Structure 1
């Protein structure tokens, strides 16, 4: 259920207290700054072969699914708009990294999966990228903090799905 963010006077429609609002916004800002900092480093890494980070994200999402998925399911796993994902998938299909077909049971649905070449490239890039992710995450967290971060971000994601 979606809430209206502001009332008819332009005031926030919330029952949260000022300290709760401040704490939530500080946590959100910290999360975004951490993400931005890590992404700047990841984008500068020389592990992407001839992929962009967004193209790799699509290959990773398809690999993680381990089966054909609808393009609408792919949208849930990546941070792109419908038109942007369509163009990106088109490029990956042309390059032979992704296979696309019309679903038998619903001719309006498009199914996607990795080609053998796409799977091999995702694994190659993923090995290097995964090591860098781990090194950077472990550089700032203990094992207990890593577990806590995973649990907390999962709770946030579930509450907002």
Structure 2
């Protein structure tokens, strides 16, 4: 294994471990205002989409199965935090959007979450390190999103490897 390959694996392991350790710390602080981290993830995702999102768009932004997202959305709808609206671009589809109660819950939990993140990140890293981490992660996302084919389609490279 080349030095750069080994370094890539070590960097991935470090990044993954940091995320796990920090997530566990958040979990130890308990559910945020009666909202699980996954429920908050849906609320946060929807807070960035004033006109709502289709289920497929929510699914693409979360690390859950389609059925897992469907169950979360159903639970949040039962709680009155989100609602289904007709999709103006497709009469067959629906958009999922925050209700007023959902926006308030997202803000309340968001404030608690922000304090947790600041304590975990700023307590461990200096401002220059935080900027470098932000920039590196942004570059990783951009590079890998650019290489990812549209949902359900293979890239040219994947097709070549099969042939």
C-alpha distance in structure 1 between counterparts of 2:24 and 2:82, whole Å: 27
Paired position in structure 2 for 1:148: 132
TM-score for the superposition, normalised by structure 2: 0.83
Q: Is the 8 A contact 1:102 1:110 kept in 2?
A: yes
Deviations 1:62-118 (A, max 9, x none): 112233122222123221111110111011111100011231331332201110111
TM-score for the superposition, normalised by structure 1: 0.84
Greater helix fraction, Structure 1 or Structure 2: 2
C-alpha distance in structure 2 between counterparts of 1:30 and 1:109, whole Å: 41
Q: How far did residue 135 of structure 1 move?
A: 1.3
C-alpha distance in structure 1 between counterparts of 2:28 and 2:51, whole Å: 31
C-alpha distance in structure 1 between counterparts of 2:87 and 2:49, whole Å: 17
Q: Is the 8 A contact 2:85 2:97 kept in 1?
A: no
- Root-mean-square deviation (CA), in Å? 1.4
Q: Are 2:47 and 1:46 aligned? A: no
1:117 corresponds to which of 101, 122, 138 = 101
Q: Is the 8 A contact 1:103 1:111 kept in 2?
A: yes
Q: Is the 8 A contact 2:35 2:109 kept in 1?
A: no
Q: How far did residue 131 of structure 1 move?
A: 0.9
C-alpha distance in structure 1 between counterparts of 2:32 and 2:119, whole Å: 17
Unaligned 5+ segments in structure 2 are 146-163
Which stretches of structure 1, 4 residues or more, deviate above 2 A after TM superposition?
Answer: 64-67, 107-110
C-alpha distance in structure 2 between counterparts of 1:45 and 1:36, whole Å: 14
